[in-house]
Amino acid sequence: MKENAMKNREMLMELKKAKSIFKKLSDIAYEIVKNVFDDYCTSIDDLIVGDKTVEIVYTYRYNYCDSVVVPIEWFDEGFDYKAAFKEMKRKEAEEEKKRIEAERKRKAAAKKAATARKAKKEYETYLKLKQKYEKDMK
């Protein structure tokens, strides 16, 4: 049987390489967090890499922990993450504005429908009373 598993010493050497890679990427993550999300960031604790995003887990003031999720391209060399952050915030504000407007329209439609129901009920009451008093007048 052929053994494909790495030996302990080989795994240690890979771990040593991975630590230097993590250090470099955590330095980039620190700059991203410090410059656009939280200027109280004190350290990067973990990087959770997905297919399209990276979750940056960091510590800030008094050992509190938080995380942010950024697109993976923010780690590309020369990428302007500050401009990307501004664009992201602009889109979020635009979506919030649309949501508020939709909610306002929904409430206006509900109010209009309630007013129409009330008017219909009043008119039906009017017709019943009119019919009653017309009978009484005859």
pLDDT tens-digit map of 42-81: 999 999 999 999 999 999 988 899 999 999 999 999 999 9
For residues 28 and 1, what is the distance between their CA atoms, to the nearest angstrom? 44
Q: Judge if 11 and 55 occupy the same domain.
A: yes
Parent domain of 11: 1-79
Q: Judge if 71 and 94 occupy the same domain.
A: no
Q: Judge if 46 and 108 occupy the same domain.
A: no
Q: Judge if 20 and 5 occupy the same domain.
A: yes
Position 83 pLDDT exceeds 50: yes
Tell me which DSSP letter residue 75 carries.
G
Q: Judge if 32 and 85 occupy the same domain.
A: no
- How many domains would you assign to the chain? 2
**Sorting pLDDT into bands at 50, 70 and 90, what band is 1?**
very low
Q: Judge if 84 and 113 occupy the same domain.
A: yes
Position 2 pLDDT exceeds 70: no
Position 138 pLDDT exceeds 70: no
Q: Judge if 89 and 137 occupy the same domain.
A: yes
Which of 58, 79, 100 represents a domain boundary (last residue)? 79
Q: Judge if 3 and 70 occupy the same domain.
A: yes
Please give the C-alpha separations between residue 134 and each of 29, 119, 121, 122, 137, in angstroms, as whole numbers.
83, 22, 20, 18, 5
**Sorting pLDDT into bands at 50, 70 and 90, what band is 40?**
very high
Q: Judge if 72 and 88 occupy the same domain.
A: no
Q: Judge if 67 and 111 occupy the same domain.
A: no
At 135 the pLDDT is 74
At 84 the pLDDT is 94
Q: Judge if 34 and 59 occupy the same domain.
A: yes
User: What tens digit of pLDDT does each residue of 86-129 get?
Assistant: 999 999 999 999 999 999 999 999 999 999 999 999 989 988 88
Q: Judge if 74 and 25 occupy the same domain.
A: yes
What pTM, to 2 d.p., does this model score?
Answer: 0.68
Three-state helix/strand/coil letters over the chain: CCCCCCCHHHHHHHHHHHHHHHHHHHHHHHHHHHHHHCCCEEEEEEEEECCCEEEEEEEECCCEEEEEEEEHHHHCCCCCHHHHHHHHHHHHHHHHHHHHHHHHHHHHHHHHHHHHHHHHHHHHHHHHHHHHHHHHHC
Which of 79, 101, 118 represents a domain boundary (last residue)? 79
Q: What angle do CA 62, 64, 69 make, to 5 degrees?
A: 140
Say which residue the tokens 């410090």 belong to. Answer: 34
